[in-house]
Structure 1
Amino acid sequence: MLETEELGVPILQDLHQHRQSLLHAKKHGSKEAMESTYEKHQNNEEDQKINRSLKNLLIIINCTLMILGNSGGPLISRLYFRHGGHRQWLSSFLETTGFPIIILPLSFSYFHRRRRDPNTKLIFITLPIFFASAFLGLMTGLDDFLYAYGLSFLPVSTSALLISTQLAFTAFFAFLVVKQRFTPFSLNSVALLTVGAVIIGLHASSDRPEGVSKREYFVGFFLTLGAAALYGLVLPLVELTYRKAKQAITYTLVMEMQFVMGFFATAFCAVGMIVNKDFQIIPREAKEYGLGETKYYLVLISNSILWQCFFLGIVGVIFSANTLLAAIITAVCIPVTEILGVIFFHENFSSEKGVALVLALMGLASYTYGEYSEDREKKKAAAVSESV
């Protein structure tokens, strides 16, 4: 189904052809034919090694992008609000405004295909997938706004813990949308993540940033949970789009979908900025920014780049490896973000937050192990059916 999963098919076909060619050459006593076939087999083996090396390199690059974006994005977003930024629509706009960067890998993919086939398509996305991606992009834009608004009132460490509940919402909506069954591991994960969020909510007084009222804190709390819930719905809808598509889901097609989603998410937030008159206020806010005007614009640019690293990275990890690895990296980034928030912003790391962090990591570990076990059982069943 995926480009990365299709590598095994031509390999098996080449080995079969190689075996048949050798038998044919041996039968007819052709030494030259045998040597030629052997050389072709050697070339195929070299191509396979190159493909494996490129795949491993792609995994490393995408993992790095995801870690940078998942850890650095929330920190830079919070840095904007911490030193005098007040425009939630602007912050949400920056989360997807870096989508034109996707043109680079898309161009590389096109010219790579064109070398092999001069008549290759420029784009693969069909009209139904385009409209589905546009709708998902609008949902992502709304999710960006909820997240940015919540982060404007919350410490980045608290926001990271609340966003981890996205996994619970994803499991719930995956059950409703794509009929993915609940397992004991996913139910355990949902329970642990929910308890962690409740613990944070019950101890709000010790966690509020300076200048944030209790009401604002709870607004940020519930908006961040709303952002986690909405993105938990977006992911199963993306999977549903893949299933309903009447074409092969390749990495190139997924990048095209991400480009469309990024465009419409950015357009959604841009409309919010226009209505809220954010574009006119940016120059004035830059002059009044606590770190200075130059650093204000550097914060905005860094914000855009880091979030786009995350979106590119997570797409790349899922399609060059699997969703399991993406879940593991997400789990790793939670304590990293927590520690960075404490180091750079001197946030209070209370015992309640520590308990919530442990529960979040346990929930993610439970979910990850459940996915791993289910994937292993599917592979065993597939191997048994092939051998029969």
Structure 2
Amino acid sequence: METAAQSMNKKTRRAVFLINAVLLTIGNCGGPLIMRLYFLHGGSRVWLSSFLETGGWPINFLPLLLTYLHRRSNSGPTTPLFLIKPPIFLSAAFIGLLTGADDYLYAYGLARLPVSTSSLVIASQLGFTALFAYLLVRQKFASYSINAVFLLTIGAGLLALHTSSDRPKGESEGEYFLGFFMTVGAAALYGFVLPLVELTYKKAKQAVTYSLVIEIQLVMCFFATVVCTIGMIINNDFKAIPKEAIEFGLGETKYYVVLVCSAIIWQCFFLGAIGVIFSSSSLLSAIIIAVLLPVTETLAVLFYREKFQAEKGISLVLSLWGFVSYFYGEFKDSNNNKKTQTPGTEMQHAISLP
């Protein structure tokens, strides 16, 4: 199957990649910070926080409308509003159910862990993504990529050592470590989801355009939200929201502002993640998520006065080392490909690298 990426010229492909990388940056840095803000000022509903991660899915109708109008101007009034076909719809729905479970694991972990610790633990997601990308989409690894994955995984593992002093006040050691392992579970599950999205693109029996990518995002987030909505109903979260808003530390109005902003920012994350997969690969999407770790780490320390112990420092250094190793390897491979590449293989290499 010829993918949409193969039909795009370099400028268009890079523009799509950059737009989604920016969306991923906004969501990856802003999402954890605003979610933690909710918990720091009196919020306690984990299922509500899970719901907000994908609850902004109707926002996707706006870019879908714009892409539809663009397609209609080129193809005429008979242009279908939606492109997604049943096999891809079912695949996106299944991935959405997994994402809903991942939302809960991540929200539970962030309710118990400082943002800086949670972000570093999430770095282990790269290792899981690499493993599942190899198993599901036969991702090829160079020595630099393997080194990067190893360093990032070891760096995240260091956080399990001597972390008791990082525990928020009033939280038991058992709750803290449960939050830690729930976050590891979230990293593992989303590390599976990213290659699963790439596999869906590869196995699709229709042209995978960016319009279709947005539709897949909408379906995934809808079903993830259904999972979280059921959790909210069982946990009586809808009834608790008005009371929690009144008691919120920043005031009732800002409580609802935090909820709305959280839903919008998390949509940037999910759309950016699957958009990067569309224009490149699931591994690169995971790499970008990991690359943004130092940014989120720094913002958490600055805004929330979180502690920065030696373990975090060592983990951060290993993470940065892993980032440099990966991108140096990509740069080196890109230069080697330019020297040995034939005209017929130029576009093939262009697909895998932004």
| Fold shared by both chains (TM-score > 0.5) | yes
Q: How far is 1:367 from its partner?
A: 3.4
Match of 1:169 among 128, 137, 152: 128
Q: How far is 1:191 from its partner?
A: 2.3
Equivalent in the alignment of 2:158: 199
Match of 1:306 among 265, 272, 292: 265
Distance 1:166 1:122 in 2: 35
Q: How far is 1:144 from its partner?
A: 0.6
Query: Structure 1 69/223 Cα, relative in aligned 2: closer, same or farther at 3 Å?
Result: same
Equivalent in the alignment of 1:99: 57
Equivalent in the alignment of 1:145: 104
Query: Structure 1 242/65 Cα, relative in aligned 2: closer, same or farther at 3 Å?
Result: closer
Q: How far is 1:251 from its partner?
A: 0.8
Distance 2:90 2:180 in 1: 32
Match of 1:111 among 53, 69, 79: 69
Find the residue that maps to 1:104 and give its secondary structure.
Answer: helix
Query: Structure 1 379/168 Cα, relative in aligned 2: closer, same or farther at 3 Å?
Result: farther
Distance 1:158 1:75 in 2: 12
Equivalent in the alignment of 1:218: 177
Give per-residue Cα distances to partners, 1:207-262, cap 9 Å, x unaligned: 11112211111101111011000000111111111121111211111111111001
Distance 1:211 1:146 in 2: 21
Query: How do residues 276-295 of structure 1 correspond to structure 2 at under 5 angstroms?
Result: 276-295=235-254
- Which amino acid in structure 2 is aligned with residue 101 of structure 1? I
Distance 1:185 1:306 in 2: 32
What's the TM-score once normalised by structure 2's chain length?
A: 0.89
Q: How far is 1:57 from its partner?
A: 5.7
Distance 2:326 2:44 in 1: 37
Give per-residue Cα distances to partners, 1:304-329, cap 9 Å, x unaligned: 11111122233344445766774564
Contact 2:201–2:278 (8 Å) recurs in 1: no
What is the root-mean-square deviation in Å for CA atoms of aligned residues?
A: 2.5
Distance 1:116 1:157 in 2: 48
What is the percent sequence identity of the aligned residues? 58
Equivalent in the alignment of 2:227: 268
Query: Structure 1 381/104 Cα, relative in aligned 2: closer, same or farther at 3 Å?
Result: farther
Query: Structure 1 376/226 Cα, relative in aligned 2: closer, same or farther at 3 Å?
Result: farther
Q: Does 1:180 align with 2:132?
A: no
Query: How do residues 77-96 of structure 1 correspond to structure 2 at under 5 angstroms?
Result: 77-96=35-54
Query: How do residues 316-335 of structure 1 correspond to structure 2 at under 5 angstroms?
Result: 316-319=275-278, 326=285, 329-335=288-294
Query: Structure 1 247/121 Cα, relative in aligned 2: closer, same or farther at 3 Å?
Result: same
What's the TM-score once normalised by structure 1's chain length?
A: 0.82
Give per-residue Cα distances to partners, 1:284-306, cap 9 Å, x unaligned: 11111111111111111111111
Equivalent in the alignment of 1:131: 90
- Which amino acid in structure 2 is aligned with residue 130 of structure 1? F
Gaps of 5+ in 1: 9-50
Distance 2:272 2:165 in 1: 35
Higher RCO, 1 vs 2 (CA within 8 Å, ≥6 residues apart): 2
- Which amino acid in structure 2 is aligned with residue 104 of structure 1? L
Find the residue that maps to 1:152 and give its secondary structure.
Answer: helix
Q: Does 1:233 align with 2:192?
A: yes
Q: Does 1:6 align with 2:4?
A: no
Distance 1:231 1:148 in 2: 13
Equivalent in the alignment of 1:246: 205
Query: Structure 1 238/379 Cα, relative in aligned 2: closer, same or farther at 3 Å?
Result: farther
Q: Based on CA coordinates, which of the two structures has the bigger radius of gyration?
A: 1
Distance 1:122 1:377 in 2: 43
Contact 2:50–2:228 (8 Å) recurs in 1: yes
Give per-residue Cα distances to partners, 1:185-206, cap 9 Å, x unaligned: 3332232123212221112112
